[in-house]
Each structure stands twice: as structure tokens, then as C-alpha cells.
């Protein structure tokens, strides 16, 4: 049975991906785990591994912009099978075996994965322990995986198949109906519900945008319409650039953004850092930076101000339990925001380790879905450019983002004397739909307190 | 058989030691605080213990019953670890694990008491086998009562010892009761010794409360066994002064029976005899008693000072 | 490697070699001396070592084993024979209350280096009193080791190890394996007690086998290979103490486990292994742990009924296929 290769879903909000390079040629014998192709998405450049052994037949060549879960190739078990798939006869997929009838989402983008199981809300998902382990590790909600084991049990191969062929687009039941009724392409809709599900509101907004003049979605000028002069240069939009553009504009339009700044005396955290620098390097093999302190302190402050760690939904303000701090990071073509999960529970050294690992992966294009999803707050540090103060745009669907300026020696008044102190500006951009000025003020006050006396992290 | 003065004093000393230990243990147990578990006391059967063990060397083996304190003491075991074992302490001869019914003191040849009636006999046959195999000229004595004589163990063991000609002395104390039922429920014959011939071995019956008689008869048995002639059954008629276990109300004993047997208390009788024969004077008798008391008191001290075993003791020595 | 040796002679050679090596080793039982054993396993030993070391006894299973305990406590190393494992019921007292406990109970004052051989005769129509495999009872006794050889090589190795072990060892030999032949390693060797053997490496499912079920398991593995299934086959060799680490490592690789044993499924050793695996390797299981074993009823002498009762390659293959979905 031939293995289907489909466009993987590499991020909660990913709708399409661009195939930038097939690493193997048509007809090549491929081994499981070898790199098959490179996919460029909204956030990352990703190397896709072969899900099994087989002879490669390419369905979608390079440069295609392919919706998630779309078929892009086959790995045939043998020559006979290869001939069949190459001739266009699709061999039955090894990975798909939907046990239940597919719910109404036929109008959505063609999803080749196993149709989502028809489970009643709250129904217990039968799954093997190993399948659950695999699902946890891959960040997959096992309720979405169809089970082919005895009594409809989800077993390991079902989870593997789900990972390879990509899940269908996650929607609330109401949204599913709306998509069907309105005959929409769900792949084009950004989901802001729990776990990135598409909600009724998302669909309403999407539909509104479709009708309204292009305030939310800037009309794309076709090439040729652009007037160029001698020396001007037109750089084609990469997937990442397109998506950054769309999301930044959306963020500005959706959220009621307000800004608040506080100046922090960084003396004590600098001292603290000096103190542990050697131990961190010698004993733990990691170089601790001020950013690690800021992330830790921010996470601790968020603990005390839960309203910061929220999402706005039409049904209510969702208070999130885990504090997962995203770290805005500039890379070659743009920016990515890998996430440090449960930052409040991690030590500064652990955060330093996580940060180092994520930066490494980011530079090498190896950030995976687990590292890119689940963020509840973002920290954007622009200190390396000497920037004194800046206000970032909120990283949807979060409710706040912290811009961290450079540490610059400034004259300040202490006990009626002018002294020189290393000062750092922290600017909070917050969505005023959820977070009021007083909330923001209190949060910044805590941030200041903890920076002024880092020992409080231990003591309180 | 002429018994020397030294042996007579030795016999008396053994009995007094047994009696003192058992009496004091009884008191401590009844106080209810320091001794866990069950105790089965042997006062009244002191002559059987002393008379038998006085014939045995340290490397001869004995296997004792749940009522085995007397035999083990008479064999020469150190009282301190014995008492500590009754207290369930780590310095007990079995590290506090076994208690009264499963006592063993291998260095003095006490190969183990048994909580399962009659089982010592099978083990005894095995040890006797080893003694014959190793040609050490040693013998094994196994104590049992009329109750055990009904078990398969008795018949198989006696038969096995006879067919393989093993040096086992089967020492039967008929004390009229097996737990709560009379001897007549357990055997259809009067004297256990009758059975021996049926297996092809000698058997003898005697007054189990006359320590010198016990001594003489067992001596013959030991000689027979050391000569490689196979097993020998000796049967002493005796009586236990207390119940099966401490706290047994003994409702199964007819009125007056205990009083009759108390008149034949082996320790009391022998004391009288030794005084009469001039083997010991009153002072000498008292010296023996005091010394035994001192040893028992010392043992109790030792037991009280010894700590409880750690929980880890449950998990060590499962395998050698 | 010498010429092939049969399983039953492998046991014989092991005992003889140990008797030569150590003068405290002796054999005891019914018909073991002069007749050389009812199945010949102890032949030649009386001639070589004499009647003191090859001892024939009356029919007294309990006393034979009780004697072993008493003799071992006094420094000898007995090897007793119980002709059919069903008769071991007569020795449970001596094995459990006495032999398994004496070392611990007496505070390590004595060691009991004794071996009790028991033969299982399942598959011969020998009926309800001669055909049982009762390792499960004894595997629950601390202080007693239980081994089940499956090939001529490990029959020899385990017997030597058992005789040299300072603890009581129950050595269970299957009559139906007596005629298996294999080449022996040269010289002195033992098969360690307490260690499983990975007979075949694999990836799709772990099969744990014990005793004579090895032969059935090997047939099953061959049949499954034709369908492209590659099981990992582990032979327990020692039933108690269990080498669970080898099994956990295998389950973490294959994610499925089936245990095959001749004894009844209910309360068998498979139940213990299954309980431990689901406790310690839960997150690696992709299917429930299964057992292929005898049903909860009695062994018949009647061939058709006995065949249904006994686990075999066919039943194992069917179970594996179900588990692979």
C-alpha cells in the first residue's frame, strides 16, 4: 500500500505552505526518516521527513502554494505500485482508515487525513497508552484522531497517520455548520478559539472582511501595476512576509491596543547575573543573559496578575492556566516566536537552556510545532540595537506583549541625589478590551518591584 | 547403669534451668507488655528434655516442637539470645523473626522448632542422613508427642529412617493431651513404643518424669544409633503442668488430674532424691537454683536492652 | 562443540559433573538409584557414585523433600526427584513452610542448597493426576527459586546453576522436551538463574515464553514471518525471580506483549507479568497485554480434549494476529 505524503500542518494558524525544494527526485528509493522536501510556512522553514520507506512519486512540484493536508506525493512500496500511482491511480492510503462518517465539512479544503471521528461531546476517547503518549509528545488532541484499533480504539499507527497527513481543520461544531452553509473555504479562516479552533466569530469576521472594502486585507497589487524607476528593486513576497503582514494588520484592527511604559533599574539583576554566570556555564553549560531574567520575572509577575494571561472571546474572557512565554526572535526573512512553556515554573538556568535551544533551532530552521504553539504572552527584546523604548504589536491571539529596551546608563534621582544607574524601559502593549489601564499599571508595578529586588522571587 | 554424681548434678541443673526459664517467661508473657505472639510452655516435661539432651554432644542435632524451649535450653543454648528472640528483638537467635514456635540455635545443634506439628521428623531424617553421609558419628534426636504420631510425617519419617538405617532417635513425650483432645483420640494403642517393631526398629516405654530413667534409656538409644543400627524410639510418660498455650483454661482436663501429676513433678522429685542421697545439700541445691535464676535474669536484661529489628529485616536474607 | 546431546541426558550429565566436582552433592528419590530413574534421567549415577550418593527411597514425597531440607541445613547438596509434578502437592508443606523459610526465619543460621526436580507430562494423555504444570504456586514463595529449562543447553546450564545455588531451587522439566537434541558448549558452563534469554530479536510484538512452550513459540514465529510479522521472542528460563527488566526493555520497543505458558491462564505467571508490565510500562503499550495459556478447567486424558486444553503455535499465531489488528 502506498504511503501518502501530504502538506503538514506546522502551526496552529497555518493554512497553506510553500514547497521550496524536493530533496529527493522522482522515482528515488527513499528510507524512512530521510529528508524528503523543504516546506516554507508563515513562521518557519521546515524539513519534512519521509514517513516510511518507498519509491517517491511527486504530485505537487516546487513553488506550489499548497493547502494544509493536501496530497503532495506518494511513497510506493514497490515498482508495481509506483507505476500505478505515477500513472495517476491512487493506491489506497496506508495511513487513512476513517472509522466514522465524516461530519459536514465537505466544502472545506480537501483533507486527506482520516476524517475526524464522530464523537459526542464529552465522549471518552478509547486510546492505547502508547497512542496517548505519542499524541502528547506531538501536541495533538487525541479526540481528533480516528481510531482503527479494536472497538474504535486509537492506536499508535492512527496517531502516526494523523501526524503525517495532517489533521483536518479544527472547528467548533457551530463553526463547522456555518462553513458548510456558507460554502466557505475553512483553510482560509484564522481560528482564535481554544487550541486554535475556528469559532463562529472567526467566521463572522472572515465573512465581513470578504464583503467590506479592503481595510483588513490590503488589496494586493499585481506585479506590473507597480511603478518602478531605475534602481528600484521589487522583492517578491515570501510566505512568511505575507503572513506577518496580514497578522500585524489584523492585530491592529482587532485589538484595542494601548501602551504603558515603566523604567527599571537593572542594577540588581545585572549583579544577580554576574553572580551566577560562572556556575551556569561551568555546571550547566549555558550562558545566562538579562533576557532570561526578564522572562522569568515577567512570568512570575503574570502569576500575580492573571488578567494578563488571557484571551478575548465573545463567550467571555478566557483565563489560561499555563504561562507560556513566547520570545520574539528575528531570523533571516522575518521573525518567529518560539515558546518557553511554563516559564513561571522553570528556574532561570532552565529558561536560559530553553532559550538557547530555541534560538539554535530557529537559526537552523528546525523549530517544530511543539515549540511554536501554546504561547500565552510574548516578550520582545530589542536591546541589541540600543533601542531605548519601543511598543510592540500584540501577537494574536494573546492579550499583551512586553517590549524590552536596551539597558542604558542614565542619571536618576535617588534620595534626592542624582546618580547614574543602568536603566531599562519595559513597555506593555495591551488589549484594552480585556486589560484596563489599572491592570496594566499594577502589572508593570510588580515587574518593577521584582526587578528592584530579585530576591523576592525566592522569598515570596 | 551407674550414673556419676557429676552427671546427676548436671541433670538437676539442666532441669532447674528449664523450669526457671519457663516460669519467668510465663510471668513476663502474662504481664502482657513485652512478649508478642504465642507461647507453649513445657513445665512438667523437664525430665524428658534434660535426660535426653544430657546424652547428646554439641554436634548432635535436635529438632524440637512448638513446645521446645525446654529441649533447647537442655541442649545448651545460650539463654540470652533465646530470651531476646521471645521478645522479638534483633539480638534474638533468629534476629527476632521466628519467635517461640520457630526457635533455632544451630551452633548448639538446635536445628529448629516447628509450627507445623510433626514436620520436624522429616527434617530430622534429613539431618541424620547428612550425619551418616559425612560419617561424623553424630545422631539426631527429634521430639514429638502423641498428636504428631498421627501425621503422615511420623510414619514416613520413621519408615524412611528404618529403611535407610539413619541415626534418628524419635523421642516421644506422651503428655496425655494433644492441644485439647485426649491421647485416646490420637492413638488406638497404649504405648507408642509398640509401633517401633512394626517399622523394624527398637522402641521402649518408661516413666518420663524420672530423669535418671530417661537418661539411661536414651543412652541406649544413642549408642544404638551411633553404631549405625538405624532409628530408635523412646517413649516417656509425662504431663504438662500448664495449658497447650499460655491462657488455655484447660477445661478438657478432668478435676484432680493436674494435682495427681503435680505430685510427680520431676524437678521437685529429683531435688528430694538428690538431698536424700547426699549428692547435694540444701546449700548446694540453692546454689544451683540461684545460678539458674541469675542466668535467666541476665537473659531478660539482655533482651530488654536489645532493639527492635528494622523493617529492612523483612527484605534481607530472602535468598542466601 | 561436541556431538548433539538429548535434553534428558543433558540433565544427567549436569548432575554427574556436579557430583564429581562436589562430594556433598547426592541424588535422592523413588527409582532414581538402581533403576536409573523412571525415565532414565539418573542412570549411571549409582554405578559411578555408589548407594550412599544415589539413594532410593520408599514412596514418601513429603519426607523426601523434608529430608532434603534437613540434609541441606546440615551441609549437603541434595538433588531430589519428584516423578510427576502433580505429586509435588505432597511436598508443598516442606517446600513452603520449611525449605523456603528456614534461611530467613532462622536469621540466616542455615543455608538450604537443595534442588527438587519435577517433571511435567502434558500432551501425553496422562490425565488429571499426571499432566499439570504448577510453577505458578511456587513462584509466589519468597525464598524458593523456580526454573524451567527449554532446550538441552539450558537444561544442562540451569541444572548446574541450581546445584551450585545456595538456595532451594525447583527445577521443572517437560517430558516432551526430553528428546530434543542440541550441541553442547565445551567444558563447564552454567546458565544463570534469574535472567531471560532473547531468543529472537524483533519489533512488532514481544512474545514471552516459558518451558516447553518455546518449541510452540518458535513454530509460531516462523509462521508469522510469512506474514511479515517480526516478533521478539523471550524465553523466561527462570520463573522466580523474574527478570522483568529484559521484558520492559522489549515492550518499550515493540509496544505489544503476549505471554504463552502451558499452565492455566488464571492466576498463572502470565498474570503477574501482565500486571507488572501494565504498571511499569503503561505508556508504551499500544494494545492490552494478552496471554495464551490453558483454560480454567481440568486436563483430560482424552486426546481431543487435551489438545484443546494445551496452548500451541496455532493459538499463539491467532492471538498475535488479533493484537496486531
Q: What is the pLDDT of residue A296?
A: 93
Nearest CB among C255, C322, C325 relative to A130 is that of C255
Q: What is the mean pLDDT of chain A?
A: 82
CA distance A148 to chain C (A): 8
Q: Taking residues C27-42, what's their average pLDDT?
A: 94
Relative to beta strand B177-178, strand B181-182 is antiparallel
The reported pLDDT for the residue numbered A185 is 72
Catalytic residue among C30, C61, C94, C262: C61
DSSP state of A154: B
Contact C287 A149 (CB under 8 A): yes
A128 contact residues in C (CB cutoff 8 A) = 255, 285-287
Whether the per-residue pLDDT at C78 is higher than 80: the answer is yes
Residues of A labelled catalytic: 432
Q: Is the sign of the CA dihedral A203, A205, A209, A215 positive or negative?
A: negative
| B71: helix, strand or coil | helix
* Residue B56 to residue B143: CA distance in whole angstroms: 14
SS3 for A297?
helix
Beta carbons within 8 Å of A232's beta carbon, 6+ residues apart: none
Of A128, A132, A133, the CB nearest to C287: A128
Residue A457 to residue B59: CA distance in whole angstroms: 73
Who among C63, C103, C107 is closest to B125 (CB)?
C63
Say whether A155 and C286 touch across the interface (CB within 8 A). yes
C-alpha cell at A162: 494523523
CB B161 within 8 A of CB B128: yes
Q: Looking at residue C186, what DSSP letter applies?
A: S
Closest residue in chain B to residue C77, using alpha carbons only: B130
Give the pLDDT of residue B109. 97
Contact check, Cβ <8 Å, A150/C325: yes
Residue in chain B nearest C61 by alpha carbon: B156
Q: How far is residue A107 CA from its own chain's centroid? A: 26
Q: Which of A225-234, B275-284, C151-160 is least confident?
A: A225-234
pLDDT at A162: 87
Q: Which residue spans within C30-141 are E strands per DSSP?
A: 54-56, 77-82, 115-120
Portion of chain A with pLDDT greater than 70, in percent: 86
Phi, psi of A103 (to 5 degrees): -65, 170
Strand A417-431 and strand A257-265: pairing?
Answer: antiparallel
> What is residue A90's predicted lDDT score, i.e. its pLDDT?
45
With CB atoms and an 8 Å threshold, state whether A130 touches C283. yes
φ, ψ of residue A7 in degrees (nearest 5): -65, 120
The pLDDT value given to residue A373: 84
Q: Which of A51, A56, A54 is nearest to A160 (CA)?
A: A51
Among the listed residues C21, C55, C63, the one whose alpha carbon sits nearest the alpha carbon of residue C37: C55
Where in chain C are all domains bearing CATH 3.40.50.920? 197-324
When pLDDT is cut at 50, 70 and 90, the band that residue A383 belongs to is: confident
Give the CA distances from residue B154 to residues B31, B144, B159, B192, B264, in Å, rounded to whole numbers and listed in that order: 37, 9, 8, 12, 29
Residues spanned by CATH 3.40.50.970 within chain C? 4-183
Task: For C253-285, write each residue's pLDDT tens digit.
Answer: 999 999 999 999 999 999 999 999 999 999 899
A198-210 mean pLDDT: 81
Are chains A and B in contact at 3+ CB pairs closer than 8 Å?
no
C285 at interface of A, judged by CB pairs closer than 8 A: yes
CA C158 to chain centroid, in Å, comes to 9
Say how far apart CA B184 and CA A160 lie, in whole Å.
79
- CB A12, CB A79: distance < 8 Å: no
Q: Which residues contact C41 (CB under 8 A, 6 or more apart)?
A: C8, C11, C12, C81, C117, C173, C178
For residue B15, give the C-alpha cell. 532441669
Q: Which residue has the cell 543400627?
A: B229
Here the contacts of B181-189 (C-beta below 8 Å, separation 24 or greater) are B181/B252, B182/B252, B183/B146, B186/B146, B186/B147, B186/B149, B186/B150, B187/B146, B187/B149, B187/B150
* Least confident among A30-44, A85-99, A180-194, A428-442: A85-99
pLDDT for the residue C313? 97
DSSP annotation of A171 reads B
- CB count in 10 Å sphere of residue A282: 8
Which of B192, B198, B131 shows the shortest CA–CA distance to B165? B131
Confidence (pLDDT) at A235: 84
Question: Average pLDDT for residues C66-91, to the nearest whole number?
Answer: 96
Cβ atoms A345, A354 nearer than 8 A? no
The closest alpha carbon to C240, from C287, C279, C272, belongs to C272
What is the tens place of the pLDDT at every residue in A159-175?
Answer: 999 888 765 566 777 78
| Least confident among A35-49, A141-155, B178-192, C198-212 | A35-49
> Is 0.95 topped by the overall pTM?
no
**Closest to B7 (Cα-Cα) out of B228, B216, B226:** B216
Q: What is the pLDDT of residue A212?
A: 59
Taking an 8 Å cut-off on Cβ atoms, the answer to whether B122 and C69 are in contact is: yes
Q: Which of C13, C103, C130, C261 is catalytic?
A: C130
CA dihedral angle for residue B310, residue B312, residue B313, residue B318, rounded to 10 degrees: 180
Find the mean pLDDT for residues C19-25: 98
Alpha-carbon distance of A250 to A205, in angstroms, equals 11
pLDDT-derived band of residue A107, with 50, 70 and 90 as boundaries?
very low
Nearest CA in chain C to B316: C104
Measured CA to CA, the distance from residue A305 to residue A191 in angstroms comes to 26
Dig out the grid coordinates for B109 from the structure.
545443634
d(CA A305, CA A373): 22
Alpha-helical (H) ranges within B31-105 are 46-53, 69-75, 79-86
* Chain-chain contact of A131 with C287 (C-beta, under 8 angstroms): no
CB contact A151 to C (< 8 Å): no
More confident residue, A170 or C102: C102
Domains parsed from chain B with CATH numbers: 5-302 (3.40.50.970)
Lowest-pLDDT range of A229-233, A293-297, A447-451, B167-171? A229-233
Give yes or no for a contact between A55 and A75, defined as CB atoms under 8 angstroms apart: yes
Tell me how crowded residue C48 is: count the other CB atoms within 10 A of its CB: 11
| A-contacting residues in C 130-169 (Cβ below 8 Å) | none
pLDDT at res. A96:
38
- Are the C-beta atoms of C205 and C232 separated by less than 8 Å? yes
> Is the Cβ pair A156, C255 closer than 8 Å?
yes
What average pLDDT does range A435-439 have in this prediction?
93
Q: Write the CB contacts of A62 (distance below 8 Å, at least 6 apart in sequence).
A: A19, A20, A21, A22
Other beta carbons less than 10 A from residue B76's beta carbon: 18
Low-confidence ranges of chain B (pLDDT < 50): none
- Residues of B with Cβ-Cβ distance to C52 under 8 angstroms: 132-133
Cell matching residue C225 = 514471518
Whether C73 sits inside 8 A of B317 (CB atoms) is: no
CA distance B316 to A271: 53
Yes or no: say if C287 and A151 are a contact pair by the CB < 8 Å rule.
no
Question: Whole-angstrom Cα distance, residue B143 to residue B192?
Answer: 13
Distance between CA B320 and CA A46 in Å, rounded? Answer: 60
pLDDT score of B126? 98
Residue C316, C-alpha cell as written in the block: 499463539
Nearest to C106 among B94, B130, B160 (CB): B94
Lowest mean pLDDT among A2-11, C159-168, C224-233: A2-11
C-alpha to C-alpha distance for B72 and B70, rounded to whole angstroms? 6
Based on the residue annotation, tell me whether C61 is a catalytic residue of this protein: yes
**Residues in Cβ contact with A303 at an 8 Å cutoff, skipping those fewer than 6 apart:** A323, A344
Instruction: Give C-chain residues touching A130 at CB under 8 angstroms.
Output: 255, 283-286
Q: Burial, A227: exposed, middle or buried (Cβ in 10 Å; 0-12, 13-18, 19+)?
A: exposed
For A23-162, list the strands marked E by DSSP: 29-30, 35-40, 45-49, 54-58, 65-67, 71-76
pLDDT tens track for A35-87 = 888 888 766 778 888 888 899 988 888 866 788 878 888 888 888 888 888 87
Q: What is the mean pLDDT of chain C?
A: 96
CATH 3.40.630.10 fits C197-324, yes or no: no
> Does residue A237 have a pLDDT over 60?
yes
Calpha distance A355→A340 (Å, rounded): 7
CATH hierarchy code of domain C4-183? 3.40.50.970
Interface check for C287 against chain A (CB to CB < 8 A): the answer is yes
Pairing of the two strands A325-327 and A316-319: unpaired
**Probe site for chain C from A130, A132, A159 (most C CB atoms < 10 A):** A130
Residue that has been written with the C-alpha cell 484571551 in this structure: A311
C-alpha cell at A199: 469559532
- Beta partners for residue A113, in sequence order: none
Q: What pLDDT score does A223 carry?
A: 53
Please give the C-alpha separations between residue C174 and each of B128, C37, C119, C303, C305, in angstroms, as whole numbers. Answer: 33, 15, 6, 18, 20
| Interchain CB contact of C282 with A (< 8 Å) | yes
Percent share of chain C, pLDDT over 70? 99
Contact C286 A130 (CB under 8 A): yes
How high is the pLDDT of residue A116?
61
> Based on the number of CB atoms within 10 Å of its own CB, is A2 exposed (0-12), middle (13-18) or buried (19 or more)?
buried
Residue A11: per-residue pLDDT: 67
State the DSSP H helix or E strand holding residue C273, giving kind and residue range, or none if neither. helix C269-280
Amino acid at each position: 500500500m502506498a504511503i501518502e505524503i501530504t502538506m503538514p500542518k506546522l502551526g496552529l494558524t497555518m493554512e497553506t505552505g510553500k514547497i521550496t525544494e524536493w530533496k529527493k527526485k522522482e522515482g528515488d528509493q527513499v528510507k524512512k526518516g530521510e529528508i524528503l522536501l523543504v516546506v516554507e510556512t508563515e513562521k518557519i522553514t521546515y524539513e519534512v521527513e519521509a514517513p516510511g520507506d518507498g519509491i517517491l512519486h511527486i504530485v505537487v512540484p516546487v513553488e506550489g502554494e499548497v493547502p494544509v493536508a493536501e496530497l503532495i506525493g506518494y511513497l510506493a512500496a514497490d515498482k508495481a505500485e509506483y507505476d500505478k500511482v505515477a500513472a495517476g491511480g491512487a493506491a489506497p492510503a496506508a495511513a487513512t482508515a476513517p472509522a466514522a462518517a465524516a461530519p459536514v465539512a465537505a466544502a472545506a479544503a480537501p483533507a486527506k487525513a482520516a476524517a475526524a471521528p464522530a464523537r459526542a461531546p464529552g465522549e471518552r476517547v478509547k486510546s492505547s497508552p502508547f497512542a496517548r503518549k505519542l499524541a502528547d509528545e506531538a501536541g495533538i488532541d487525541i479526540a481528533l484522531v480516528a481510531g482503527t484499533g479494536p472497538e474504535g480504539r486509537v492506536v499508535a499507527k492512527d496517531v502516526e497517520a494523523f501526524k503525517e497527513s495532517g489533521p483536518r481543520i479544527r472547528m467548533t461544531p457551530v463553526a463547522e455548520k456555518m462553513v458548510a452553509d456558507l460554502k466557505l473555504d475553512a483553510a482560509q479562516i484564522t481560528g482564535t478559539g481554544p487550541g486554535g479552533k475556528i469559532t463562529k466569530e472567526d467566521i463572522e469576521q472572515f465573512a465581513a472582511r470578504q464583503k467590506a472594502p479592503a481595510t483588513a486585507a490590503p488589496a494586493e497589487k499585481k506585479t506590473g501595476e507597480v511603478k518602478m524607476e531605475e534602481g528600484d528593486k521589487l522583492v517578491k513576497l515570501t510566505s512568511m512576509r505575507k503572513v506577518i503582514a496580514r497578522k500585524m494588520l489584523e492585530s491592529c484592527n482587532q485589538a484595542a491596543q494601548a501602551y504603558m511604559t515603566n523604567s527599571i533599574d537593572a542594577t540588581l539583576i545585572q549583579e544577580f547575573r554576574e553572580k551566577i554566570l560562572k556556575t551556569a556555564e561551568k555546571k550547566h553549560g549555558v550562558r545566562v543573559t538579562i533576557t532570561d531574567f526578564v522572562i522569568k520575572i515577567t512570568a512570575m509577575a503574570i502569576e500575580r496578575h492573571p488578567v494578563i494571561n488571557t484571551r478575548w472571546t465573545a463567550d467571555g474572557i478566557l483565563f489560561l492556566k499555563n504561562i507560556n512565554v513566547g520570545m520574539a526572535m528575528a531570523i533571516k526573512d522575518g521573525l518567529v516566536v518560539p515558546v518557553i512553556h511554563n516559564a513561571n515554573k522553570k528556574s532561570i538556568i532552565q529558561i536560559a537552556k530553553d532559550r538557547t535551544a530555541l534560538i539554535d533551532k530557529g537559526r537552523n530552521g528546525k523549530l517544530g510545532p511543539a515549540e511554536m504553539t501554546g504561547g500565552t504572552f510574548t516578550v520582545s527584546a530589542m536591546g541589541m540595537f540600543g533601542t531605548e523604548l519601543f511598543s510592540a504589536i500584540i501577537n494574536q491571539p494573546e492579550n499583551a506583549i512586553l517590549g524590552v529596551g536596551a539597558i542604558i546608563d542614565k542619571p536618576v534621582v535617588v534620595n534626592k541625589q542624582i546618580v547614574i544607574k543602568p536603566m531599562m524601559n519595559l513597555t506593555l502593549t495591551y488589549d484594552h478590551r480585556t486589560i484596563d489601564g489599572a491592570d496594566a499599571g499594577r502589572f508593570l508595578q510588580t515587574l518593577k518591584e521584582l526587578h528592584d529586588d530579585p530576591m523576592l522571587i525566592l522569598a515570596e | 547403669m551407674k550414673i556419676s554424681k557429676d552427671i546427676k548434678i548436671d541433670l538437676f541443673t539442666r532441669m532447674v534451668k528449664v523450669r526457671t526459664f519457663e516460669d519467668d517467661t510465663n510471668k513476663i508473657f502474662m504481664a502482657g507488655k513485652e512478649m508478642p505472639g504465642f507461647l507453649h510452655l513445657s513445665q512438667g516435661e523437664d525430665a524428658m528434655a534434660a535426660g535426653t539432651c544430657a546424652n547428646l554432644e554439641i554436634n548432635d542435632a535436635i529438632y524440637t516442637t512448638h513446645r521446645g524451649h525446654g529441649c533447647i535450653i537442655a541442649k545448651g543454648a545460650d539463654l540470652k539470645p533465646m530470651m531476646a528472640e521471645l521478645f522479638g528483638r534483633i539480638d534474638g537467635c533468629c534476629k527476632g523473626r521466628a519467635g517461640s514456635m520457630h526457635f533455632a540455635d544451630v551452633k548448639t545443634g538446635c536445628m529448629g522448632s516447628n509450627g507445623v506439628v510433626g514436620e520436624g521428623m522429616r527434617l530430622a531424617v534429613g539431618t541424620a542422613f547428612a550425619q551418616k553421609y559425612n560419617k561424623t558419628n553424630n545422631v539426631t534426636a527429634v521430639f514429638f508427642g502423641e498428636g504428631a504420631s498421627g501425621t503422615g510425617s511420623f510414619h514416613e519419617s520413621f519408615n524412611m529412617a528404618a529403611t535407610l538405617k539413619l541415626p534418628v532417635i524419635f523421642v516421644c513425650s506422651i503428655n496425655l493431651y494433644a492441644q485439647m483432645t485426649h491421647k485416646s483420640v490420637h492413638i488406638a494403642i497404649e504405648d507408642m513404643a509398640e509401633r517401633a517393631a512394626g517399622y523394624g526398629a527398637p522402641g521402649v516405654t518408661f516413666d518420663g518424669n524420672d530423669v535418671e530413667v530417661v537418661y539411661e534409656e536414651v543412652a541406649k538409644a544413642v549408642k544404638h544409633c551411633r553404631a549405625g543400627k538405624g532409628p530408635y524410639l523412646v517413649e516417656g510418660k509425662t504431663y504438662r503442668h500448664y495449658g497447650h498455650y499460655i491462657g488455655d483454661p484447660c477445661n478438657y482436663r478432668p478435676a484432680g488430674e493436674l494435682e495427681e501429676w503435680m505430685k510427680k513433678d520431676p524437678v521437685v522429685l529429683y531435688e528430694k532424691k538428690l538431698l536424700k542421697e547426699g549428692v547435694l545439700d540444701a546449700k548446694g541445691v540453692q546454689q544451683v537454683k540461684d545460678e539458674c535464676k541469675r542466668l535467666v535474669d541476665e537473659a531478660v536484661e539482655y533482651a530488654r536492652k536489645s532493639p527492635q529489628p528494622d523493617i529492612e529485616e523483612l527484605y534481607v536474607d530472602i535468598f542466601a | 562443540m561436541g556431538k548433539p546431546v538429548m535434553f534428558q541426558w543433558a540433565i544427567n550429565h549436569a548432575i554427574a559433573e556436579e557430583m564429581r566436582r562436589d562430594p556433598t552433592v547426592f541424588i535422592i528419590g523413588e527409582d532414581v538409584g538402581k533403576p536409573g530413574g523412571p525415565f532414565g534421567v539418573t542412570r549411571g549415577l549409582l554405578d559411578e557414585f555408589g548407594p550412599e550418593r544415589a539413594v532410593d527411597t520408599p514412596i514418601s514425597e513429603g519426607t523426601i523433600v523434608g529430608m532434603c531440607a534437613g540434609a541441606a541445613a546440615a551441609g549437603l547438596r541434595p538433588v531430589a526427584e519428584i516423578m510427576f509434578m502433580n505429586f509435588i502437592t505432597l511436598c508443598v508443606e516442606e517446600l513452603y513452610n520449611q525449605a523456603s523459610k528456614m534461611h530467613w526465619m532462622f536469621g540466616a543460621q542455615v543455608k538450604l542448597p537443595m534442588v527438587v526436580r519435577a517433571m511435567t507430562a502434558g500432551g501425553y494423555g496422562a490425565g488429571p493426576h499426571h499432566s499439570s504444570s504448577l510453577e505458578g504456586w511456587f513462584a509466589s514463595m519468597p525464598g524458593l527459586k523456580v526454573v524451567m529449562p527449554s532446550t538441552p543447553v539450558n537444561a544442562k546450564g540451569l541444572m548446574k546453576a541450581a546445584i551450585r545455588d545456595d538456595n532451594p531451587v525447583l527445577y521443572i522439566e517437560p517430558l516432551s522436551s526430553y528428546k530434543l537434541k542440541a550441541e553442547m558448549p565445551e567444558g563447564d558452563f552454567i546458565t544463570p538463574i534469574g535472567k531471560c534469554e532473547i531468543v529472537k530479536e524483533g519489533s512488532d510484538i514481544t512474545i514471552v515464553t516459558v518451558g516447553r512452550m518455546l518449541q510452540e513459540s518458535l513454530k509460531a514465529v516462523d509462521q508469522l514471518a510469512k506474514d511479515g510479522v517480526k516478533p521478539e521472542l523471550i524465553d523466561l528460563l527462570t520463573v522466580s525471580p523474574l527478570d522483568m527488566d529484559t521484558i520492559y526493555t522489549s515492550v518499550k520497543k515493540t509496544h505489544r506483549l503476549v505471554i504463552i505458558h502451558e499452565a492455566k491462564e488464571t492466576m498463572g505467571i502470565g498474570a503477574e507479568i501482565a500486571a507488572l508490565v501494565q504498571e511499569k510500562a503503561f505508556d508504551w503499550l499500544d494494545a492490552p497485554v494478552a496471554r495464551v495459556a490453558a483454560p480454567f478447567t481440568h486436563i483430560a486424558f482424552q486426546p481431543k480434549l487435551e489438545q484443546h486444553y494445551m496452548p500451541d503455535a496455532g493459538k499463539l499465531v491467532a492471538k498475535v494476529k488479533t493484537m496486531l489488528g
